Amino acid sequence: MQPYSTPFYFLILGLALIPIIVAHLWGKKLMWYQVLFTLIFLYLTFSDTRTLWALISFGIYQTLLIKLYEWYRIKQKKNQDVIFYFAILLTILPLAIVKIHPLIYPMPHPPSLLGFLGISYISFKTIAMIMEMRDGLIKAVPIKEFLYFLYFFPTISSGPIDRFRRFTKELSAPLTQDKYLDFLNKGITRIFQGFLYKFIIGYLIDTYWLHGIAISATLHPNFWNMTQSMYAYGLYLFFDFAGYSLFAIGVSNLMGYDLPHNFNKPFLAKNIHDFWQRWHMTLSFWFRDFVFMRLVKTFMVKKWSKNMITISNIGYLTNMLIMGFWHGITWYYVLYGIYHALLMIGFDSWKRLKKRKNWHIPDNKWTTSISIFITFNLVMLSFLIFSGIPNYAIMHSLDPHYPLPNF
């Protein structure tokens, strides 16, 4: 069963959550049942034999890597760059194989043996842990806490991406009845909001707008059809993904955990930096902390450049290119990453130009509205690239038998 895919799924989920809710109301975490609940729903999600073994094998592999690196850092008290980079490479390797596999064995070949639902988000967790262990922020990794964090069911398929230190701190902290009642209220509210976003608004956009206009834009790629596709896909993507994130956070609340959020009114962003502070925040912050900031720090420590503008621009390009490749090794995902990097570079250039020219632009509701409008449309254009609809149009013009989009 695909997590959060149908209302019937929530009926089963709700019944299974009752003992956890009752236990929390009595001041108990009932961890043995939380583990059992997780195992049952993991089995229901990954019941295909090959997928289940891939999930288990991946967990064993990552656990061994984490524990070996823990032994190296804590017991041996060493911190050599070559060992760190080798550990990161081994941690990323399964995900890299999954991403590269379609290039080597395109459809209709079966997917990679390692390609199970959620491998990207689990990999992000372990990569971050290796980096924080190197920094000395994580001193020890108890296996039970690590496995529960790794396989935490509400977020396993598509996030939000949590951090080990935050999760274990919450796992070990007592949860008062008053605090849990607040979690319970928020969790139920978020789940119903998720229903509104995903099953009503997202469904209506997809069924009555996106599906038809994507086909029209493929067959007749004119300005009007592409513009409609741009807005239809961008809005659908938000409501579908934000709805899923609300489900994951809401279910986590019912289990007694308050996970980081993924969306904060992203279409009210006043500039591209503000947008990435609001859109898919756990992914954005992950790339900021573990790619951009570390690359900038490396440039400064190694003295590869003294020009901070150059360093930050290289950081933006690298950061967004990796994000693009993570989504998939196709030209439109890569272009999506480059496009956002150029937007960030352009915005920083605009800020420097204003400062150099001593331009004072008033900060009022009109300038704010204009900023939001410009940012919204620039972002929507990126979603058109990301959707692959232009790719469908190009491929269909070359081959009339090329499959039509099916959102």
Residues designated catalytic? 327
Q: What is the DSSP letter of 48?
A: S
* C-beta neighbour count of 31 within 10 angstroms: 14
Q: Copy the structure tokens of residue 251.
A: 């279910």
The secondary structure of residue 114, as a DSSP letter, is: T
Residue 404 and residue 108: Cα distance in Å, rounded?
A: 16
Nearest to 407 by CA among 239, 283, 284: 239
- Nearby residues of 124 by Cβ (< 8 Å), 6 or more positions away: 161, 283, 286
Residue 42 phi, psi dihedral angles, 5° rounding: -65, -40
Distance CA 354, CA 373 (A): 20
Q: Measured between alpha carbons, how far is residue 357 from residues 57, 265, 351, 352, 371 in Å?
A: 59, 32, 10, 9, 20
303 phi and psi angles, rounded to 5 deg: 55, 40
- Two tokens at 90? 């081994």
Give the separation between CA 398 and CA 244, rounded to whole angstroms. Answer: 36
Distance between CA atoms of 69 and 104, rounded to whole angstroms? 32
- Take residue 88 and report the two structure tokens written for it: 């990161």
Q: How far is CA 307 from the centre of its chain?
A: 31
Closest C-alpha among 116, 125, 120 to residue 65 = 125
212 and 268 Cβ atoms separated by less than 8 Å: no
How many CB atoms neighbour CB 39 within 10 A?
12
H-helix or E-strand spanning residue 243: helix 223-255
Q: In angstroms, rounded to a whole number, what is the distance separating the alpha carbons of residues 283 and 110?
A: 28
